[in-house]
Amino acid sequence: MSHSAKIAWDDTVLPFQLDASDIRGRVARLDGVLEQVLAQHDYPPMIEGLIAEMALLTAMIGQSMKPRWKLSLQVRGDGPIRHIATDYYSAEKDGEPARIRAYASFDRETIDLKAVPASQFGKGYFALMIDQGPDMAPYQGVTPISGGSLAKSAEVYFAQSEQLPTRFSLTFGQSQVPGEAAHWRAGGIMLQQMPKASPSVSGEGGSGEDGLLDATDLLTEDESENWTRANALLDTVEDIELIGPSVTPTDLLVRLFHEEQPRVYDAQPVKFGCTCSEDRVRQSLSIYSAKDIATMTTDEGTVTADCQFCGAHYVFDPTTLGFEAKENGA
């Protein structure tokens, strides 16, 4: 593949539909956006890998969001890795890139960097939140961390909370090109059964871990046959095909699913983007009294704040903060 072709498909999400199976999906490739997300922090490779996985999931799930919606994924646990969060901001207009940001919180003293990464969350939950704008109540769904990976937890989330059979096949890691520095790349495919008007699920629990619903619990006999066939085809994909850059997403879909009649739609570009600003931080501090602000004031007589996503550092005069501010901070 030429260098220009490689660039054309990097940092994009390509939606598609398998007409013969009534299944929809997305192919994602992340490259530069991961480098920018990870450049904001000094994370060990385990954490960088989990953020790469989470960002890939976020990009594929977020692609279906309407303009100006915000999708947030969070995993919280009681283990050494306490929190991983990602935000996806849908494009303002068609053709514009969506924006992704991410960060992790973990205990450097107790984390076991040689363990299975997902095991370091301990017990906790996987959460998906959608903010549709100021005139709409936000949506939130929560399911337990399950299956030994973030991708499996996401599959459980869709089966349990959305009753949508969903499958992710992901790969991510540091790519080394001769003459260039190593950098992170990630690629994946998401499959999802097209939703029924009114899915019916037994109240007796599911066949998954701890009685949670599994994709197979949600399918009719005909759907199960289509789902099993599409998943068997996806099982033949190789990591190098997912991550690229030698195979384009369109060629990959034909290679995997040509008998399923794949139909592709417009690709969604994504980039790193943070929405923090001095005004937003000031607004978040507006709920505090002057007494509260005083407890946040440093010995140098300022109030400081750091963005967890992009590392931006803000310094304020305490008299301009809180609902008892004596001066305008503009």
Q: What is the pLDDT of residues 285-316, one digit of tens each?
A: 888 888 888 888 988 898 888 888 888 888 99
pLDDT of residue 309: 85
pLDDT of residue 330: 47
Region 149-178 average pLDDT: 90
CA 126 to the chain's CA centroid: 11
Contact 69, 85 (CB under 8 A): no
Pair 266, 283 in one domain: no
> Is 328 contained in some domain?
no
> Is 239 contained in some domain?
yes
What confidence tier does 327 reach under pLDDT thresholds 50, 70, 90? low
Torsion, Cα of 80, 144, 309, 120 (10° steps):
20
Supply 324's token pair.
């008892």
Its pTM stands at 0.86
Give the CATH number, domain containing residue 39: 3.55.30.10
pLDDT of residue 47: 96
> Is 227 contained in some domain?
yes
Pair 88, 205 in one domain: yes
Pair 144, 287 in one domain: no
DSSP conformation class of 211: G
Region 267-283 average pLDDT: 89
Pair 188, 286 in one domain: no
Pair 159, 285 in one domain: no
> Which of 253, 272, 291 corresponds to the end of one domain?
272
Pair 179, 288 in one domain: no
Pair 268, 283 in one domain: no
Region 65-83 average pLDDT: 94
Whether the pLDDT of residue 238 is over 90: the answer is: yes
pLDDT of residue 329: 53
Number of residues that make up the chain: 330
Domain with 292, as residue range(s), is: 279-320
> Is 234 contained in some domain?
yes
pLDDT of residue 160: 92
Angle between helices 32-39 and 45-62 (to 10 degrees): 130
> Which of 241, 256, 272 corresponds to the end of one domain?
272
> Is 329 contained in some domain?
no
Looking at every residue in the chain, the average pLDDT score rounds to 88
Pick the closest to residue 143 from 216, 208, 60, 49 (CA basis): 208
Bridge-based pairing of strands 268-272 and 98-106 is parallel
Region 150-159 average pLDDT: 95
High-pLDDT (> 90) share of the chain, %: 57
pLDDT of residue 52: 95
Residue type, 303: V
Whether the pLDDT of residue 106 is over 80: the answer is: yes
Pair 67, 198 in one domain: yes
Beta-ladder partners of 191: 25, 167
Encode pLDDT of 174-200 as tens digits: 876 667 777 889 999 999 998 775 555
Pair 295, 220 in one domain: no
Pair 80, 20 in one domain: yes
Whether the pLDDT of residue 204 is over 70: the answer is: no
DSSP conformation class of 34: H
Pick the closest to residue 140 from 71, 200, 65 (CA basis): 71
What confidence tier does 100 reach under pLDDT thresholds 50, 70, 90? very high
Number of domains in the chain: 2
Pair 206, 296 in one domain: no
Element containing residue 150 per DSSP (H, E): helix 150-157
> Is 98 contained in some domain?
yes
Pair 285, 268 in one domain: no
Interacting residues of 82 by C-beta distance below 8 A, sequence separation 6+: 76, 105, 106, 107
